[in-house]
């Protein structure tokens, strides 16, 4: 199963403070502070910082993207991944609608950690 680019999405209390902290660890910033989110990158490691958007931290996979958020020509569509996950007996908290293009699904691991599969292409 090809899940795509991986990142951790962190819920932060103070976006500016978190940005400054991760920059000290060598992360570079992209995103929109005014929209309450930033993407921090250090080599192939990606961390999303989100203020007021999620209740808890989550694992994020982006089918159709590489670690630089560049579109891939060959990837497993979110709807195909959804079918495979359901066939494995997993419960999805949200599902993608039929069709093509951008869509997302969400599930939780056995410890309640949310996992977002978010396809942008």
Q: What is the pLDDT of residue 24?
A: 98
Please report the beta strands in 1-121, taking only residues with DSSP state E, as ranges in sequence order.
Answer: 5-11, 28-32, 37-42, 45-50, 58-62, 92-94, 103-108, 114-119
Contact 37, 48 (CB under 8 A): yes
Over the chain (121 residues), the average pLDDT of each successive run of 10 is 96 96 95 87 95 95 94 96 98 96 97 97 94
State residue 32's pLDDT score: 75
Residue 88 has what pLDDT? 98
Please tell me the distance from the alpha carbon of residue 107 to that of residue 4, in angstroms, as a whole number: 16
- Which residue is it, tokens 């039929």? 98
Range of the domain at 35: 5-119
What is the reported pLDDT for 33?
79
Helix (H, G, I), strand (E, B) or coil at 40: strand
pLDDT at 97: 95
Number of domains composing the chain: 1
- The pLDDT, as a whole number, for residue 1 is 92
Check residue 34 and give its pLDDT. Answer: 84
User: Tell me, what CATH number does 32's domain have?
Assistant: 3.10.180.10
Residues 114, 106 contacting (CB under 8 angstroms): yes
What pLDDT is attached to residue 31? 75
| Distance between CA atoms of residues 63 and 74, nearest Å | 10
Quote the pLDDT of residue 40: 96
């Amino acid at each position: 199963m090809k899940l795509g680019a991986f990142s951790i999405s962190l819920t932060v209390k103070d976006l500016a403070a978190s940005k400054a902290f991760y920059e000290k660890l060598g992360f570079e910033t992209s995103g929109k502070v005014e929209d309450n989110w930033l993407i921090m990158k250090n080599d192939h490691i990606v961390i999303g910082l989100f203020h007021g958007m999620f209740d808890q931290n989550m694992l994020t996979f982006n089918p159709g993207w590489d670690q630089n958020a560049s579109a891939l020509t060959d990837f497993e569509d979110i709807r195909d991944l959804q079918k495979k996950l359901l066939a494995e007996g997993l419960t999805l908290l949200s599902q993608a609608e039929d069709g093509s293009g951008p869509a997302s699904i969400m599930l939780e691991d056995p410890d309640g950690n949310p996992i977002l599969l978010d396809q942008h292409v």
